[in-house]
């Protein structure tokens, strides 16, 4: 969230969001590859033009951000991973003088629907987690060079990095002003990272999160809010030193660069058609069908062949398309409540891709592709739609595509000899959920031994065996299939979407709690609730009146 922003906040029309971009089209970020004493590093410089909003009606003052800014950041991180294998570390900084980032634009939030606000926070959360994932799994650690004030979401971006250097110049500070100024919370993991990641003492975190002006210099270091606070004259040297050290420690595996070419998508009122993915919408029934197709030909069998195929390789192309389709559902199709997850094609071709991903898992590019699939599947887990997997005669829920069924809230499998599921080594933990467990482990918390029984199953798993292995919810026969599926979708679509979202988010993340599940299950849930409370968004709410002369009026009853 942002602090200290001003400007007119008349709402403008909200056009459909498009999620692809390219460094040549960036308006808010600049991506450079620079040399350090420890190796090459990427430098991401944030310089947001005031007139650069995704929609009209709000100026992006003081390096505040909206979804368009975050989309560029997410794109840049993906390109560092695939297109710049030479990069060993990353520094995030500001191109403006004495301002790093004032957080999410308040007027954008004030003119957005509740659903858009929540999905915006969710996407921003996911992008921050991808930054951390890049450090943990790719070996590209990040440094935040806070060369000015970082408030709200600006500081949340900073603490998603591994290290923070703050300029000690008498004015630069870090702050979480949401609670005192806006009556909301730091909505992109701020509170959780403060105490769980940086392990700031609880009482100090309490003070920090209720002091709108924030904390500067030496005190910020003492409290653990930043790692170093050199005077401005020594700031650049400290950044160079720390960035070089991060690059020197990198364990990134080399691989050939892969250019992330534009997706080929045909859009219509009825949905989106990609090469391997179809999204079909039924607005009247408030349902959608999301189908992922198996490879339609031979796929790479070695890392060299994968590098040559690049973004056209099924493992990368299909899941980039799936990622785009999931974001389409979130942001542009809020009326859709229930999604049928389907697959089609030759399961053997999916399993052949899985065999390559498993055999060459230590290769840098192969690992990066698997990590990307993992991130897309996590996006599926976090999508606030009811997900029903439908396995029928055309299905190929095998290996990596079986994860779609395992991510679903229910699995319907036609009781027919031609219908089967199949496992591969990729189901054994290569795509962990936010709770750190595989989807099979999350499914069988009560009987962990069932996981190995499933993974040891050879060949096709027919409907009867899938029932015995407890991989399906219902298995209607040909006579009952259409009616049972239709009734299930109609019943689900008739229920309160608010209750369903809470129920699904709770049930999908059984098992251990992690920083990631806390951010989405705890913080996002509270943020969702607080965003609807009159103290924040009522006529006299703090978020509504921000920037106006009137003072907010609070209902002081604790709930």
Could you report the per-residue pLDDT of 183-202, keeping only the tens digit for each?
888 877 899 999 999 999 99
In a domain, 15, yes or no: no
Same domain for 54 and 135: yes
How many angstroms separate the CA atoms of 383 and 521, rounded?
12
Question: Among 391, 404, 277, 290, which residue's Cα sits nearest to residue 338?
Answer: 290
In a domain, 540, yes or no: no
Token representation of residue 187: 């909505």
Q: What are phi and psi of 44, to 5 degrees?
A: -105, 115
Spell out the residues 6+ positions from residue 320 whose beta carbon is closer than 8 angstroms to its own.
260, 263, 311, 372, 376
Q: Residue 484: give the domain boundaries.
A: 266-502
Spell out the residues 6+ positions from residue 439 whose beta carbon is closer than 8 angstroms to its own.
403, 406, 407, 427, 431, 433
In a domain, 296, yes or no: yes
Same domain for 432 and 349: yes
State mean pLDDT over 275-300: 97
Token representation of residue 318: 């299909």
Same domain for 356 and 222: no
Q: What's the pLDDT tens digit per position in 216-240?
A: 999 999 999 999 999 999 999 999 9
Q: Are 365 and 357 in contact (CB under 8 A)?
A: no
Same domain for 335 and 241: no
C-alpha angle 387/390/394, rounded to 5°?
140
The answer to whether residue 165 scores a pLDDT higher than 90 is yes
Can you give the pLDDT at residue 203? 97
Same domain for 133 and 187: yes
**Cα atoms in the 13 Å half-sphere on the side-chain side of 267:** 10
Residues in the chain: 559
CATH classification of the domain holding 366: 3.90.226.10
- Residue 14 — pLDDT band, cuts 50, 70, 90? low
Same domain for 191 and 52: yes
Q: What's the pLDDT tens digit per position in 355-368?
A: 999 999 999 999 99
Q: Are 311 and 365 in contact (CB under 8 A)?
A: no
Same domain for 380 and 483: yes
Rg of the Cα atoms in the chain: 24
The answer to whether residue 4 scores a pLDDT higher than 90 is no
Same domain for 270 and 244: no
Can you give the pLDDT at residue 6? 42
Among the candidates 182, 216, 249, a domain finishes at 249
Can you give the pLDDT at residue 524? 65
How many angstroms separate the CA atoms of 267 and 533, rounded?
37
- Residue 29 — pLDDT band, cuts 50, 70, 90? very high
In a domain, 100, yes or no: yes
In a domain, 70, yes or no: yes
């Amino acid at each position: 969230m942002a602090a200290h922003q001003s400007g007119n906040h008349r709402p403008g029309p909200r056009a459909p969001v498009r999620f692809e971009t390219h460094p040549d089209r960036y308006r808010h970020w600049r991506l450079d590859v620079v040399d350090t004493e420890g190796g090459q590093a990427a430098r991401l410089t944030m310089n947001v033009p005031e007139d650069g909003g995704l929609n009209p009606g709000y100026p992006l003052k003081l390096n505040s951000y909206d979804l368009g800014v975050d989309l560029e950041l997410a794109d840049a991180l993906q390109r560092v991973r695939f297109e710049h294998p030479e990069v060993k570390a990353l520094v995030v900084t500001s191109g403006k003088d004495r301002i790093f980032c004032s957080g999410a634009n308040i007027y954008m939030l004030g003119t957005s629907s509740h659903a858009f606000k929540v999905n915006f926070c969710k996407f921003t959360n996911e992008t921050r987690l991808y930054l951390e994932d890049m450090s943990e799994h790719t070996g590209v650690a990040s440094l935040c060079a806070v060369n000015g004030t970082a408030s709200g979401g600006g500081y949340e971006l900073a603490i998603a990095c591994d290290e923070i250097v703050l300029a000690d110049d008498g004015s630069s500070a870090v702050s979480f002003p949401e609670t005192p100024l806006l009556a909301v919370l730091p909505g992109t993991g701020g509170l959780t990272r403060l105490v769980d990641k940086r392990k700031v003492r609880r009482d100090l975190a309490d003070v920090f999160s209720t002091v709108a002006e924030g904390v500067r210099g030496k005190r910020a270091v003492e409290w653990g809010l930043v790692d170093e606070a050199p005077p401005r004259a020594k700031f650049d040297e400290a950044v160079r030193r720390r960035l070089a050290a991060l690059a020197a420690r990198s364990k990134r595996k080399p691989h050939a660069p892969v250019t992330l070419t534009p997706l080929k998508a045909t859009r219509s009122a009825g949905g989106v058609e990609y090469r391997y993915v179809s999204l079909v919408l039924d607005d009247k029934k408030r349902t959608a069908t999301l189908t992922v197709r198996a490879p339609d030909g031979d796929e790479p069998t070695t890392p060299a062949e994968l590098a040559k195929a690049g973004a056209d390789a099924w493992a990368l192309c299909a899941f980039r398309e799936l990622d785009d389709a999931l974001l389409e559902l979130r942001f542009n199709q809020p009326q859709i409540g229930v999604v049928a997850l389907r697959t089609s094609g030759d399961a053997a071709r999916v399993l052949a891709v899985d065999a390559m991903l498993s055999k060459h898992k230590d290769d840098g590019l192969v690992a990066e592709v698997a990590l990307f699939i993992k991130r897309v599947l996590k996006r599926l887990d976090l999508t606030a739609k009811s997900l029903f997997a439908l396995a029928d005669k055309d299905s190929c829920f095998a290996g990596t595509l079986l994860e779609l069924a395992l991510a679903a809230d229910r699995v319907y499998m036609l009781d027919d000899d031609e219908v089967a599921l199949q496992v591969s080594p990729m189901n054994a933990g290569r795509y962990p959920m936010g709770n750190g467990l595989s989807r099979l482990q999350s499914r069988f918390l009560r009987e962990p031994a069932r996981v190995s029984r499933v993974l040891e199953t050879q060949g096709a798993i027919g409907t009867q065996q899938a029932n015995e292995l407890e991989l399906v919810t219902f298995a209607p026969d040909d006579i009952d299939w259409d009616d049972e599926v239709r009734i299930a979708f109609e019943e689900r679509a008739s229920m309160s979407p608010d209750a369903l979202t809470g129920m699904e988010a709770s049930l999908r993340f059984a098992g251990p709690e992690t920083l990631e599940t806390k951010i989405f299950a705890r913080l996002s849930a509270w943020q969702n609730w607080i965003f609807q409370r009159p103290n924040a968004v009522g006529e006299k709410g703090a978020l509504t009146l921000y920037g106006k002369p009137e003072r907010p009026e609070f209902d002081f009853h604790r709930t």
